[in-house]
Amino acid sequence: MSSISSSSSNVRMDRRFDWVGPPDNISKIRKIMLRRVDNESELERQYRQAREELNQWNSDFWAEHNQLFDRQKSEFVEKKQAALGRLEHVSANELSEFYRDFLNDRHAAMMAYNKEWYRRNLQLIWPALKVNVVRFFRMARK
Amino acid sequence: MVLCSRLGFTPSTSTAVFHTTTTNSVLPRAKPLDEEMPTSGRSVSKKQRPDTQILDLSGKRHKKDIDIIVADQYLQQWYKMETKSLAADYLALCKSKLSLFVASTATCGFLMAPVPVAAAPLAAATIGTFLLSSAANSCNQLLEAPYDAQMRRTQSRVLVVHRFSPLHAFTFAGVTGLTGIGLLAYYANPLAAALGALNWFIYAVYTPMKRSHIGCTWAGAVVGAIPPLMGYSAATGYLDPAAWCLATILFSWQFPHFNGLSWNLRGDYSKAGYRVMCVTNERLCRVTSIRHSLALLGLCSIAAPLTDLTTLTFAIDSLPVNAYLVYLSYKFYKAPDAKNSRRLFFYSLLHLPLIMLLMGISNYGRNEKQKEPIVERITNGYTSMVESIKSLTA
């Protein structure tokens, strides 16, 4: 599975623990790898994969969004700089025009992302609860 | 490692990077999957692949031990999802400093109520408000983790660095919130508990609103205005114009405070998708700051003595405090830059505690009990406090 954010797909960690990685350069989201056992049940596997996928999906969205921001910002600054000439710099108040327009352009996409993020995040609470119960009983049996 | 310290934390596995603790027998053994096993099929061998590093775990050589095969140069920056100090992380999750500040506004509301001070409701109001604020902040962090990751100001929050799982944060929010509501309902009164629940709900609505509508700042200001109402109603059981005046003071305060804070972070807010005034409508941002500073002046000096919230002395001694705020807001309005906004923000942090202190001082001596001679007042106060504590523990 290819993704825009840098994928450290050849990192393999001790499966007994949950791991958190460094923040991605572009998306700033940290990669996670959740723990699993030999006899992982279907429920646990689905939960683990759903959580990891959600994190990756977040990372992909933000990578794309941030790249767009940086690209549009540099284009804006170039245009303004060309208009200003060499002696002046683009001021903070002129940049604020860009900030406003960028936010307005991205409004629809951000709203869609936000809704999806809330839905998927809250949807995982119930499976998380079930998985914790399963793990608790497994540990209690030992 | 340098990157980690810049991020403000140290990974739990410090120098011994993957030196896991010796045979923790409670943890289940996870057999690596077939595709993860090195092709030689043996345990830690002398055969080193050119681009991988095979690390040994805890010195023991079991055939089935998990080999960590890493080819990522950021190896050292991976760390276990665990907390070193649960208490510290919980305090970070609930934004303890902010919650304490909110609880102090509730205490102020309680003390401004025109009734004798009783220990149990006071404690309930303060602790209950603190717990409810913690719950609201935990919910906020739970829902905002990817957004917090984008902004420098918030990138080391506990859920961004995955100190614990979302379920853990959700449970924490639930437990603290319900405990807060319960405390308020039982030791104070149901009105305070209802206001607390309402506040938590408004905060939960305000969180997504930050991304959809500029009105989020007003919703946030309401969230800040309700705690004094909670304190007041915890003392008295009702809300009168004096309480509303106090709440409006806190409502108006939020605007110079937030606008001063957010002005310098416009780039970050825009990139992270927050539709706040300073990004979407700058003129409104500057105008509301000065508008609400003037409103504060009017509220403290005219409305407060009029509604019998405070005495006339407060109207007078709050004048210089508010006048300076108006001055800084005006400067911010005329010349909105980094320096003016910072000064406005930092002064707003000083302004509110000062106003609350002045209010408390002006209110001293107005309650019936406080009109008694001082010796009697002390003994009566002591006996009533003891009685309150007894009824608390009974």
State the angle between helix axes of B119-150 and B86-93 in degrees (0 to 180), rounded to the nearest 10. 90
Cα–Cα distance measured from residue A47 to residue A41, given in angstroms and rounded to the nearest whole number:
10
pTM: 0.77
Q: What confidence tier does B389 reach under pLDDT thresholds 50, 70, 90? A: confident
What length is written for chain B? Answer: 394
Cα–Cα distance measured from residue B187 to residue B382, given in angstroms and rounded to the nearest whole number:
19
Closest residue in B to A35 (Cα) is: B30
Task: State the ipTM, two decimals.
Answer: 0.85
Check B72 against A10: CB less than 8 A apart. Answer: yes
Task: Mark whether B200 and B296 lie in a shared domain.
Answer: no
By Cβ distance, the residue of A21, A38, A110 closest to B78 is: A21
In angstroms, what separates the C-alpha of B261 from chain A's closest C-alpha?
A: 16
Q: What confidence tier does B386 reach under pLDDT thresholds 50, 70, 90? A: confident
Residues B270-284: what's their mean pLDDT? 89
Interface of B with A in 166-185 (CB under 8 A): 166-167, 170
Task: Mark whether B298 and B357 lie in a shared domain.
Answer: yes
Structure tokens at A94: 């002129």
* CATH number, position B164: 1.10.357.140
Task: Mark whether B249 and B349 lie in a shared domain.
Answer: yes
CB contact B157 to A (< 8 Å): no
Check B155 against A28: CB less than 8 A apart. Answer: yes
Match 């002696």 to its residue by tokens.
A87
Task: Give the helix/strand (H/E) hosting A22.
Answer: strand A19-23
Pair B21, B38: CB distance under 8 Å: no
Residues B354-378: what's their mean pLDDT? 72
Structure tokens at A102: 């960028």
In-domain check, residue B6? no
In-domain check, residue B42? no
Cα separations in angstroms, A63 against A60, B19, B208, B275: 5, 33, 21, 20
CB contact B76 to A (< 8 Å): no
Task: Mark whether B110 and B193 lie in a shared domain.
Answer: yes
In angstroms, what separates the C-alpha of B182 from chain A's closest C-alpha?
A: 24
Task: Mark whether B301 and B352 lie in a shared domain.
Answer: yes
Mean pLDDT of chain B: 81
In angstroms, what separates the C-alpha of B274 from chain A's closest C-alpha?
A: 8
In-domain check, residue B290? yes
Give tens-digit pLDDT for A50-95. 999 999 999 999 999 999 999 999 999 888 888 887 777 777 778 8
Q: What confidence tier does B24 reach under pLDDT thresholds 50, 70, 90? A: very low
In angstroms, what separates the C-alpha of B285 from chain A's closest C-alpha?
A: 13
Residues of chain A with C-beta less than 8 angstroms from the C-beta of B267: 95, 99
Q: For residue A28, is pLDDT > 80?
A: yes
Pair A4, B21: CB distance under 8 Å: no
Residues B113-127: what's their mean pLDDT? 89
Q: What residues make up the domain containing B256?
A: 240-374
Residues of chain A with C-beta less than 8 angstroms from the C-beta of B80: 17-20
Alpha-helical (H) ranges within A1-142 are 42-84, 92-105, 107-123, 125-141
Q: How many CB pairs under 8 A join A and B?
A: 153
Give me the sign of the Cα torsion angle B7, B8, B10, B12: negative
In angstroms, what separates the C-alpha of A86 from chain B's closest C-alpha?
A: 23
In angstroms, what separates the C-alpha of B336 from chain A's closest C-alpha?
A: 9
Residues B218-240: what's their mean pLDDT? 92
* CA nearest to B359, candidates B191, B231, B254, B183: B231
Check A11 against B71: CB less than 8 A apart. Answer: yes
Residue B266's pLDDT is what?
Answer: 87
Task: Mark whether B350 and B244 lie in a shared domain.
Answer: yes
Check B78 against A69: CB less than 8 A apart. Answer: no
Find all residues with CB under 8 Å of A89, minimum gap 6, and list them. Answer: A81
* CA nearest to B269, candidates A71, A111, A57, A100: A100
Q: For residue B372, is pLDDT > 60?
A: no
Burial class (CB in 10 A: 0-12, 13-18, 19+), A33: buried
CB contact B146 to A (< 8 Å): yes
* CA nearest to B233, candidates B202, B194, B178: B194
Check A129 against B30: CB less than 8 A apart. Answer: no
Residues B119-148: what's their mean pLDDT? 93
Domain count, chain B: 2
Match 């690390």 to its residue by tokens.
B55
Cα–Cα distance measured from residue A120 to residue B31, given in angstroms and rounded to the nearest whole number:
30
Cα–Cα distance measured from residue B113 to residue B239, given in angstroms and rounded to the nearest whole number:
10
Residues of chain B with C-beta less than 8 angstroms from the C-beta of A95: 266-267
Residues of chain A with C-beta less than 8 angstroms from the C-beta of B336: 93
- Of B161, B196, B212, the residue that ends a domain is B212
CB contact B87 to A (< 8 Å): no
Residue B113's pLDDT is what?
Answer: 87
Q: Which of B21, B57, B79 to probe the A interface (max A CBs under 10 A)? A: B79
In angstroms, what separates the C-alpha of A119 from chain B's closest C-alpha?
A: 10
Give tens-digit pLDDT for B1-23. 444 444 444 444 444 434 444 44
Task: Mark whether B115 and B174 lie in a shared domain.
Answer: yes
Residue B373's pLDDT is what?
Answer: 58
Cα separations in angstroms, B129 against B109, B151, B155, B224, B252: 12, 28, 26, 11, 20
In angstroms, what separates the C-alpha of B312 from chain A's closest C-alpha?
A: 43
In-domain check, residue B305? yes
In-domain check, residue B335? yes
In-domain check, residue B166? yes
Q: Name the 3-class secondary structure at B155.
A: coil
Residues of chain B with C-beta less than 8 angstroms from the C-beta of A99: 266-267, 269-270, 279
Task: Give the helix/strand (H/E) hosting B84.
Answer: none
In-domain check, residue B44? no
Task: Mark whether B158 and B268 lie in a shared domain.
Answer: no
CB contact B9 to A (< 8 Å): no
Q: For residue B61, is pLDDT > 50?
A: no
Q: Name the 3-class secondary structure at A90.
A: coil
Residue B44's pLDDT is what?
Answer: 40
Position with higher pLDDT, B75 vs B21: B75
Residues B20-43: what's their mean pLDDT? 43
Pair A99, B280: CB distance under 8 Å: no
| CA of residue A4 relative to chain centroid, distance | 11
User: Mean pLDDT lowest for which of A91-95, A135-139, B109-113?
Assistant: A91-95
Residues B377-394: what's their mean pLDDT? 80
Residues of chain B with C-beta less than 8 angstroms from the C-beta of A66: 150, 271
Residues of chain A with C-beta less than 8 angstroms from the C-beta of B36: 12
In-domain check, residue B287? yes
